Amino acid sequence: MSEKMKRAELLRSVSHYLTHLRMSVEASNSLNLQDLNVHAEAFFRDLLNLTMDYCLINVNIIEKNARAIDLGDETNRIAIQVTSTADFSKVRHTFSGFIESNLQRKYDRLVVLIIGVKKSYRVTSLGDPAVFSISVANDIWDVTDLLKMIGDLDLGKLQACLDFLRKELRLSEPRQSNEVRTLMRLIEVLSVSEEGMLAGDNREDPDPEGKIRDRFADHAEFLQKEYVKLFEIYGRALKEVEAHTDLGHVRIRKLQVYLWNWSDRVLREFKGDPKAALQALCDRVMAMMGAGETDFDEGAVRYYLIDQLIACNVFPNKAAVNA
């Protein structure tokens, strides 16, 4: 699996855990159950220490649930208030308590971490920049902001973050959909082929409309209906896989040339019948992919091949005929 795809997979799981935490806190607040908020302070202390290399400790300088701060790091001079309240009045209340307690002598930065979704605030800052101030854009964080920051971590730290979330929250993770897993495996198998880099007599400029309407006129209705039917099921999954597949130019070119040459041979084997040749390609790709923990999705394979047919990488047009 490429680094880009691994990163996307890790972020998907991290997002699952943090979203669950946000929803749990929102539910507990609606029931006036505040224990989860208290536990969240320790949770985010450990998470931020792990991911941001902070040295935060629980301070709770003012009495429980009052203004000021929950977490403080005197080494990095950052203070954090953890709250599930997104109203700006909470931000202002925290800032006022921070200043009244002269905490700006210990900390250079105050962050309000909202376990949820922050609102659109009209003001851009609080305080006097000459004394102490906070930026609404940079110093009010929510779960989405945390995910962005975590997304910039190296893979090792990203994996450590996910391990921490698994240990602390103990949730079942959604399994990667079988169509996504199938398409990832399919691209992996086809992109390591060795067919060279030359197009031969295959046209490199795609002409999908002329190809289906003219060259495969007898099968045009079938191909079009098949594509539309499968697109509804697999179109989004293929876009997701392509967005996170980091093959590089050389492997993409190898994949393209392999599909040109191999599909052309299969098409000739079936005497130019695209319907029969498409089914043969699908069967052979499924065999090439081998066995997985669950059966691969043949429909996803079929959709990929038809999508490549439209892109003229499967059953390519010939330069001598169509030039």
| Each residue's pLDDT tens digit, 31-57 | 444 555 567 888 999 999 999 999 999
Burial of 296 (0-12, 13-18, 19+ CB in 10 A): buried
Tokens at residue 17, please?
């855990």
Tokens at residue 229, please?
């039917």
- Mapping DSSP to helix (H, G, I), strand (E, B) and coil, where does residue 135 land? strand
Q: What angle do CA 153, 155, 160 make, to 5 degrees?
A: 85
Query: From CA 244, how far away is CA 183, in angstroms rounded?
Result: 12
H helices of 1-87, in order, are 3-30, 35-52
Which of these, 188, 168, 162, 145, lies nearest to 290 by C-alpha position? 188
- Mapping DSSP to helix (H, G, I), strand (E, B) and coil, where does residue 141 land? strand
Provide the CA 73 distance to its chain's centre, in angstroms: 31
Tokens at residue 16, please?
């699952």
Query: From CA 304, how far away is CA 306, in angstroms rounded?
Result: 6
| Number of residues that this document lists for the chain | 323
Query: From CA 90, how far away is CA 40, in angstroms rounded?
Result: 17
Query: From CA 100, how far away is CA 86, in angstroms rounded?
Result: 22
Identify the segments of the chain with pLDDT beneath 50. Answer: 31-33, 62-66, 197, 199, 321-323
Tokens at residue 54, please?
């902070």
Q: What angle do CA 225, 226, 230 make, to 5 degrees?
A: 115
Q: Are 296 and 185 in contact (CB under 8 A)?
A: yes
DSSP 44-107: HHHHHHHHH----EE---SSTT-SS-SEEETTTTEEEEEES---HHHHHHHHHHHHHTTGGGT-
Q: For strand 78-83 and strand 109-114, is the pairing parallel, antiparallel, or unpaired? A: parallel
Q: What is the pLDDT of residue 136?
A: 95
Q: What is the pLDDT of residue 38?
A: 64
What angle do the packed helices 298-310 and 274-289 form, to 10 degrees? 130
Which of these, 81, 80, 86, lies nearest to 117 by C-alpha position? 86
Q: For strand 71-73 and strand 125-128, is the pairing parallel, antiparallel, or unpaired? A: unpaired
Q: Are 146 and 140 in contact (CB under 8 A)?
A: no
Burial of 300 (0-12, 13-18, 19+ CB in 10 A): buried
Q: What is the pLDDT of residue 65?
A: 41
pTM over 0.85: no
Residue pLDDT, tens place only, 84-126 = 889 999 999 999 999 998 999 999 999 999 988 899 999 999 9
Q: What is the pLDDT of residue 78?
A: 96
